[in-house]
Structure 1
Amino acid sequence: MSNDETVLEVVDLAKDFPIGSNLLGTRPLQLLRAVAGVSFSVKRGETYGLVGESGCGKSTLGRCILRLLDPTSGQVILDGQDITTLDEREMRALRRDIQIVFQDPMSSLHPKMTVRQILTEGMRLANKAPVQREAAIDDLIEMVQLPREVLDRYPHEMSGGQRQRIGIARAISLDPKVIVLDEPVSALDVSIQAGVLNLLRDLQKRLNVAFVFIAHDLGVVRYVSDRIGVMYLGRIVETGDAAALFDAPMHPYTQALLSAIPLSDPRTERERERIMLEGDLPSPLNPPSGCRFRTRCPRAQALCAREDPMLEGVEHLTACHFPGPNPDIAQTCF
């Protein structure tokens, strides 16, 4: 259950990657701006979902929040402290407060360590006493709904769903305030996804931890999120309460994403009209002038090429010169 206490605030965060260099190697030929001034906040016990096409910058944003990548500019304020100003030693002391669950659990679990050793290692690095570690391990395995026998197994001896549950157990073992979940179910079979998503919701209620949930699947994001931010080419183009955003999407990009969600009724699925985006996602090395979405937008006008729209609104914010509902989406998607 979320409350009014903001535990994470991202303020105008940007991340550039240098591409190539001049003949002397003194400066890059180009800068790729993967994240271009993103702001949002997350309350304790709340899930903020980040969704968008592959290449939109959402995973890079997640790594900047964790300081796995250093932002080019902006702030990441964790429980009132700007962690972008901390050095590595100071950041190490705060690692327990902000954790991550990766997309591929196998790549994030040491293949030569048993589950017991994996869970113990994190707590040891966080200076938990040996007695505390042993008691916590039993509780962790119970919380992620795995049998105690897995404690003596190696990652390759378990299924993908079990490995992801171990990754989740490791993340919550340090009692974090924020967990970044980077595509946590996209590598799992559909039959396993629901169980992991339900587990995450149960753990959040139990631990009152904040989630930043990164995914490309709007259906998954809708199921777990309290609020959602839709990213396009490094920026959030629409954000708001999950129910409001799905019931009345205002940005044409959000409407296109929603129209791509399959419906359970085969007849309605066959008959409904989809919004088809033309062209590919533009390169962040050379984004369009004005509105970054204008080259694929069915509403684009001359103003869109001249001026970059601001993210505006009260609770439901949209970055569009001509925002508005699409009656076809409201009729066929919900």
Structure 2
Amino acid sequence: METISVQTSTNHYQVSIGRQLRFKVNQFVNKTYSSIFIITDSNVEELYLHDIISTLQSEHTVHYTVVPAGENSKSIRVYFDIITEAIQTGLDRQGLIIALGGGMIGDLAGFVASTFMRGIDYIQMPTTVLAHDSSVGGKVAVNHPEGKNLIGNFYPPQAVIYDVETLHTIPLRELRSGYAEIVKHSLIHSPSFWDEMQTVDVTKPLSDQELMKHLVKGISVKADIVEKDEKESHIRQYLNFGHTLGHALEAELGYGEITHGEAVAIGMLFAFRVSDYVYNTSLPYESLLEWIKKNQFPTTLPPLQITKLINRMKKDKKTKNQTVQMVLLKSLGSPTVAVVDDRDLAYLLEKFIRELVKK
């Protein structure tokens, strides 16, 4: 088992990564709780919910709720329904919430925990590679039709329990989606470990050892940044590399039409182009594009209006005074945040989408 310690201004917790940890959950529950309320989705329920309940029931009173799988469940309506169900089960301020699932469940359950009776403890139990990013750092949220994660909070978990065996049951689309975030970490970290990540082919079976190695690298980057900037006032914004366009694509196409990682992969390509334009860099655009294609990411987009995309980008949380700010790279491992003029953005975006279609 690998353990990463995360120390922030508001909490200290451990990220534990290993095999069969779902059968050892009691070892990570370090307080006495009045009851435990598990939040999961319809896909994970069939696979792992019983393992968790059977492990916990020997020592705890356990209730659970299951939401439909997919990004559409990360909504105010579903959030309100969960709060109602939690109240009806008798969950109180001495209770614990467990988020069992991917990034959607982690964000949703974390937001429930942060607001239920003004905040109760929760534990993240991620079951996807993508959730290696979202389960660490305490950013919790639900979506608004106008933009992704616009309703949220900073609320760190009590622990993150990562059973790598659960990663063998996720479909290829979700696996590659998660690896887009690990690649993001490889590009913003100094020194960059992009050379190592560009050899990864998720279309071929990955061993537990490989998964753990990559997850530890990605989480270590996230943890280091979060410790220095928990509330995203400065360098934590670097973790949004590729997300300005990525989030805009998710919202414009409709949540669930494209996975988060698929959108971020396209967003990183675009951020490379903007970085080259603003800083006259020479980033490995073709190598990243080759990796994206090798791992069977979609690179074609339906017809999109540039003006609508830019308006979506202006709803990004980094936006100030209705001006788009993007995370760019001066070189691999050297991220920065820069203002991008609307006219430049429109020109670069139109050119980028046209080039992408030709590829």
Could you state the TM-score of these two structures normalised by the residue count of structure 1? 0.32
Could you state the TM-score of these two structures normalised by the residue count of structure 2? 0.30
Higher relative contact order (CA 8 A, sep 6+): 1
